């Protein structure tokens, strides 16, 4: 791929020239179907410009998938040759599998939930939250629908579990949440058709990653301050120990010849962990946070091992 084109959604005039058609065209484009803490959709262009220029001939791995913003952004472009997407949160990966393999059944289940929610939002929300927590081994399609439903209706679209792994976010204050977004789910399903999905912690890359693979890492961030809390993804803390493990994996994969790109917060800790690599600062709007202290724009960094990238892979723009 020579240069990644503009990331903005296509607002070109439609054949009929009306906004409805343009909106329908936009709705058919891949985009995250979940709201996710740390989601990168608003930064996709900034990050995408820093990806290898020859990505179209490489395997792209995204081991902290979350809402999958970079993956969906890439699917609007010429993208990669092969995609391997993974996350440690098993229910999240199951949801992606269901979106990929059973979109129509999923949409029907969500439509039924939407109708119930319209009738009795509060009751429906807490009943589904209880079922989601109790029936862990339930049917895949139902579980995926529950996760999407809870994501669309819970407070701030936050996925948070307690120490026992129970989803404990209260209902949000949405007037008309888009619970069954059929166009978005169908577009995501098409995009995921070519992707391999895995439930795995990031360290599976030690065995799975191959020389020449492109790996975009977007871990829960190193906290900006002692009071920030970024450990609520899967009931376990992503503390300094895991950040150190990740930095050690980054060095191992660099030596193996992988092309690495990571997002993290701009803190002295991160700069210490990735000393010797290429660190670019970018200004990031932050929308979801469990603590007010981390709301508002924050500065984050993109870390790459550019010295190990072949010449053909180096982006041609100033990036
Ligand atoms: C910042 S979010 C990723 C956001 C994503 N890039 C997006 O645009 O939505 C981090 C993700 O890492 C996952 N995660 C947390 N600990 C992990 C681990 N040890 N291994 C793999 N994934 C993990 C969480 O479940 C969460 O989905």
| Residue 19: predicted pLDDT | 55
| Residue 304: predicted pLDDT | 98
Q: How far apart are CA 151 and CA 177, in angstroms?
A: 10
Residue 70 has pLDDT above 90, yes or no: yes
Q: How far apart are CA 156 and CA 287, in angstroms?
A: 9
Confidence of residue 11 (pLDDT cuts 50, 70, 90): very low
Q: How far apart are CA 59 and CA 253, in angstroms?
A: 14
Residue 160 has pLDDT above 80, yes or no: yes
CA distances from 132 to 34, 35, 111, 150, 164 (A): 17, 18, 17, 9, 14
Least confident of 108-117, 196-205, 272-281, 291-300: 291-300
- What is the rounded average pLDDT of the residues 150-177? 92
Atom of ligand 1 lying closest to residue 87 CA: 22
Q: How far apart are CA 124 and CA 253, in angstroms?
A: 46
- What is the rounded average pLDDT of the residues 23-31? 86
Q: With CA atoms as reference, report the closest residue to 147 among 137, 165, 133.
A: 133
Q: Which tokens hold the place of 138?
A: 């339930």
- What is the rounded average pLDDT of the residues 259-277? 96
- What is the rounded average pLDDT of the residues 275-301? 71
Q: What is the SS3 assignment for 291?
A: coil
Q: Is 48 in the pocket of ligand 1 (CB under 6 A)?
A: no
Q: Is 66 in the pocket of ligand 1 (CB under 6 A)?
A: yes
| Residue 312: predicted pLDDT | 94
Confidence of residue 286 (pLDDT cuts 50, 70, 90): low
Atom of ligand 1 lying closest to residue 221 CA: 1
Atom of ligand 1 lying closest to residue 41 CA: 8
More confident residue, 128 or 12: 128
User: 3: burial class by Cβ within 10 Å (0-12, 13-18, 19+)?
Assistant: exposed
Ligand 1 centroid to Cα of residue 89, in Å, is: 8
Atom of ligand 1 lying closest to residue 69 CA: 8
- What is the rounded average pLDDT of the residues 16-30? 71
Q: Is 36 in the pocket of ligand 1 (CB under 6 A)?
A: yes
- What is the rounded average pLDDT of the residues 82-101? 97
Identify the residue whose C-alpha is closest to ligand 1 atom 20: 201
Ligand 1 pocket test target in 37, 219, 223 with most atoms within 8 Å of CB:
219
More confident residue, 237 or 37: 37
| Residue 297: predicted pLDDT | 61
| Residue 158: predicted pLDDT | 85
Q: In DSSP terms, which residues pair with 84 in a beta bridge?
A: 61, 196
Atom of ligand 1 lying closest to residue 34 CA: 9
Residue 291 has pLDDT above 60, yes or no: no
- What is the rounded average pLDDT of the residues 107-129? 97
Identify the residue whose C-alpha is closest to ligand 1 atom 7: 39
Q: Which residues of 121-146 are buried (b: 16+ CB within 10 A; e: fewer)?
A: beebbeebbeebbeeeeeebbbbbbb
Ligand 1 centroid to Cα of residue 36, in Å, is: 9
What value does the CA radius of gyration of the chain take, rounded to a whole number of Å? 20
| Residue 223: predicted pLDDT | 75
Proportion of the chain above pLDDT 70, given as a percent: 83
Q: Is 146 in the pocket of ligand 1 (CB under 6 A)?
A: no
Sequence length of the chain is: 319
Q: In DSSP terms, which residues pair with 151 in a beta bridge?
A: none
CB atoms within 10 A of CB 29: 15
Residue 55 has pLDDT above 80, yes or no: yes
Q: Is 223 in the pocket of ligand 1 (CB under 6 A)?
A: no
């Amino acid at each position: 791929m020579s240069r990644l084109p503009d990331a903005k959604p296509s607002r070109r005039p439609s054949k009929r020239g009306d906004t409805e058609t343009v909106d329908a065209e936009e709705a058919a484009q891949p985009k995250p179907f979940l709201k996710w803490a740390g989601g990168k959709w608003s930064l996709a262009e900034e990050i995408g410009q820093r990806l290898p220029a020859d990505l179209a001939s490489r395997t792209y791995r995204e081991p902290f998938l979350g809402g999958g913003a970079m993956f969906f952004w890439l699917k609007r472009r010429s993208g990669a040759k092969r995609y391997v997407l993974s996350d440690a949160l098993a229910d999240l990966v199951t949801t992606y599998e269901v979106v990929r393999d059973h979109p129509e059944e999923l949409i029907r289940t969500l439509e039924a939930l939407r109708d119930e929610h319209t009738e009795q939002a509060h009751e429906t929300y807490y009943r589904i939250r209880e079922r989601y927590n109790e029936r862990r081994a339930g049917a895949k399609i139902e579980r995926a629908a529950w996760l999407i439903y809870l994501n669309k209706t819970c407070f701030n679209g936050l996925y948070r579990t307690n120490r026992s792994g129970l989803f404990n976010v209260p209902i949000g204050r949405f007037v008309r949440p888009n619970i069954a977004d059929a166009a978005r789910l169908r577009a995501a399903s098409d995009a995921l058709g070519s992707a391999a999905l895995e439930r795995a912690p990031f360290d599976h890359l030690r065995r799975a990653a191959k020389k020449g693979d492109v790996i975009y890492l977007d871990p829960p961030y190193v906290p900006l301050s002692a009071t920030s809390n970024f450990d609520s993804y899967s009931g376990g803390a992503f503390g300094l120990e895991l950040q150190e493990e990740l930095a050690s994996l980054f060095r191992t994969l660099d030596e193996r010849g992988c092309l690495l790109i990571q997002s993290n917060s701009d803190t002295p800790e991160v700069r210490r962990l990735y000393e010797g690599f290429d660190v670019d600062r970018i200004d990031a709007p932050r929308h979801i946070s469990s603590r007010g202290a981390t709301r508002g724009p924050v500065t984050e960094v993109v870390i790459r091992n550019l010295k190990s990238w072949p010449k053909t892979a180096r982006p041609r723009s100033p990036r």
